[in-house]
Amino acid sequence: MNFDLTDERQMLQDGLRRYLADAYTAEARKKIEDDEAAFSPDIWTGLAEMGVIGALFREEDGGFAGEGFDIALVFEELGRIGAVDPLIDTAVLGGGLIAVLGTDAQKDVIETVIAGGAHLAVAHGEPSSRFDMPRVETTATKGADGYTLNGRKAIVVNAPSAENLIVSARTSGDIADTDGISLFIIPADTDGMTLRSYPIVGGGHAAEVTLSDVSVPNEAMLGAEGAAYDAISAMNARATLAICAEALGLMESIKTLTNDYLKTRKQFGVPIGKFQALQHRLADVLIEIEQARSAVINLAGHVDAEPSVRDVHVSATKNLIGLAARLVVEEGIQMHGGIGMTNEYELGHLAKRLTMIDHRFGDTDYHMEQFIKLAVA
């Protein structure tokens, strides 16, 4: 056993941490948040040039790393700084799906993604699907020279900035069947596809996507007809790892802010960190964050394992992260008192972003049930 980073990863981590500390100031982030695009082209290019996006792809796909531990490393650093850039959507989910399912022609876009020149969004969830991955109502009907799509997609993160959307639709089967789900790469400006965009809590933008009689050619299909489910759940696992690692970074930063605050804020003539009631709670926060770190390591090591093994780790980690995140957010705000409630102070942004992580890729309850199904029952 060895929990040290390899030399390459250590270099990536050092470089990335330095770059983010310089480029991703609080002011820079506020500017990004106010912007429709939800990312700064400069920082995005900077990340691409450093090889951060390439680190999320395997060598055979044009990247240079792409293992679970690479994903975890990158997203923990992004989390620490509270970055809002939609790297999960463009690279892990969108790029990942194209990498596993795409034809050579379709895979061309990955190079542009790695170079920082393309944005993607994956339109899979629907207004009533909640967290159930196979629940797809959107239909794709085969015609003479292509498919016609109809349906609605919910909270498609990064859709407002994406040139292409990867849309799931049912080509056969019943509503919650895993068989019969197909994926299509659809340019955002395609007739019949409308986006209603909005900001999301904690930074970033999403859209509700309506598809009414959207015609796409056969070449728009990603992978074989009706057989996309396995790839969707595999990429969901990698995206869950990414977001859990991001949560870990956010938790570390909230803990550090709170720790510093307990040392400096004085009430009753002493730093509030002298009160045992707070000391012990910050100690508990620290313990839970170490648990969260171990859970992320577990998932990173199993994210590409066979589905039954992989999914036990996905659920164990996402559930634990959700619980730890809530503890860290609530204790962080509470121990800060009034300051913790303000939008201006750094903690607010980190807390909101961390809170929202429970609402993507399945929440604590959802993963509790999945875990029971897979591991306990």
Ligand X SMILES: Cc1cc2nc3c(=O)[nH]c(=O)nc-3n(C[C@H](O)[C@H](O)[C@H](O)COP(=O)(O)OP(=O)(O)OC[C@H]3O[C@@H](n4cnc5c(N)ncnc54)[C@H](O)[C@@H]3O)c2cc1C
For tokens 């959700």, what's the residue? Answer: 322
- Under the binding rule (CB under 8 A), the answer on residue 377 touching other proteins is no
C-beta of 187 vs 337, nearer to ligand X: 337
The encoded tokens of residue 143 equal: 């015609």
One of 218, 267, 279, 294 touching ligand X (CB under 6 A) = 267
One of 335, 347, 351, 357 touching ligand X (CB under 6 A) = 335
Residue type, 289: I
For the chain, the residue count is 377
C-beta of 332 vs 362, nearer to ligand X: 332
- Under the binding rule (CB under 6 A), the answer on residue 338 touching ligand X is yes
What is the C-alpha separation between 201 and 205, in angstroms, rounded? 9
- From the number of C-beta atoms within 10 Å of its C-beta (0-12, 13-18, 19+), residue 61 rates as buried
The residues in 208-237 that bind other proteins, with binding defined as CB under 8 A, are 208
Select the span of 223-231, 296-304, 306-314, 335-343 touching other proteins (CB under 8 A): 335-343
- Under the binding rule (CB under 6 A), the answer on residue 279 touching ligand X is no
Question: Could you tell me if 72 and 245 are in contact, meaning their C-beta atoms sit under 8 angstroms apart?
Answer: yes
Residue type, 207: A
- Under the binding rule (CB under 8 A), the answer on residue 326 touching other proteins is yes
One of 2, 27, 338, 376 touching other proteins (CB under 8 A) = 338
CB-based burial, 114-136: b 16+ in 10 Å, e otherwise: bebebbbbbbbbbeebebebbbb
Other beta carbons less than 10 A from residue 6's beta carbon: 12
The encoded tokens of residue 314 equal: 């996905």
- What's the min distance (Å) between Cβ of 251 and other proteins? 17
C-beta of 175 vs 224, nearer to other proteins: 175
- Under the binding rule (CB under 8 A), the answer on residue 356 touching other proteins is yes
* Closest chain position to ligand X (CB): 337
The encoded tokens of residue 227 equal: 């057989």
What is the C-alpha separation between 251 and 257, in angstroms, rounded? 10
The encoded tokens of residue 265 equal: 């804020």
- Under the binding rule (CB under 8 A), the answer on residue 359 touching other proteins is yes
The encoded tokens of residue 229 equal: 């489910």
Select the span of 27-35, 265-273, 301-309, 363-371 touching ligand X (CB under 6 A): 265-273
Half-sphere exposure of 286 (CA within 13 A, CB side): 10
For tokens 């959207």, what's the residue? Answer: 214
What is the C-alpha separation between 177 and 50, in angstroms, rounded? 41
One of 4, 343, 376, 377 touching other proteins (CB under 8 A) = 343
- Under the binding rule (CB under 6 A), the answer on residue 141 touching ligand X is no
Half-sphere exposure of 36 (CA within 13 A, CB side): 7
- What's the min distance (Å) between Cβ of 201 and ligand X? 18
- Under the binding rule (CB under 6 A), the answer on residue 341 touching ligand X is yes
- Under the binding rule (CB under 8 A), the answer on residue 346 touching other proteins is no
C-beta of 2 vs 276, nearer to other proteins: 276
**DSSP strands (E only) in 205-336:** 205-216, 221-222, 266-267, 270-271
One of 58, 152, 265, 281 touching ligand X (CB under 6 A) = 265
One of 118, 278, 321, 354 touching other proteins (CB under 8 A) = 278
Question: Could you tell me if 112 and 155 are in contact, meaning their C-beta atoms sit under 8 angstroms apart?
Answer: no
The residues in 170-189 that bind other proteins, with binding defined as CB under 8 A, are 175-176
Q: Where on the chain is the footprint of ligand X (CB under 6 A)?
A: 265, 267-268, 272, 275, 277-278, 334-335, 337-338, 341
Q: Where on the chain is the footprint of other proteins (CB under 8 A)?
A: 125, 127-128, 130-132, 135, 154-155, 175-176, 196, 198-201, 206, 208, 266-269, 272, 275, 277-278, 326, 330, 333-334, 337-338, 340-344, 348, 351-352, 355-356, 358-360, 363-366, 368-369
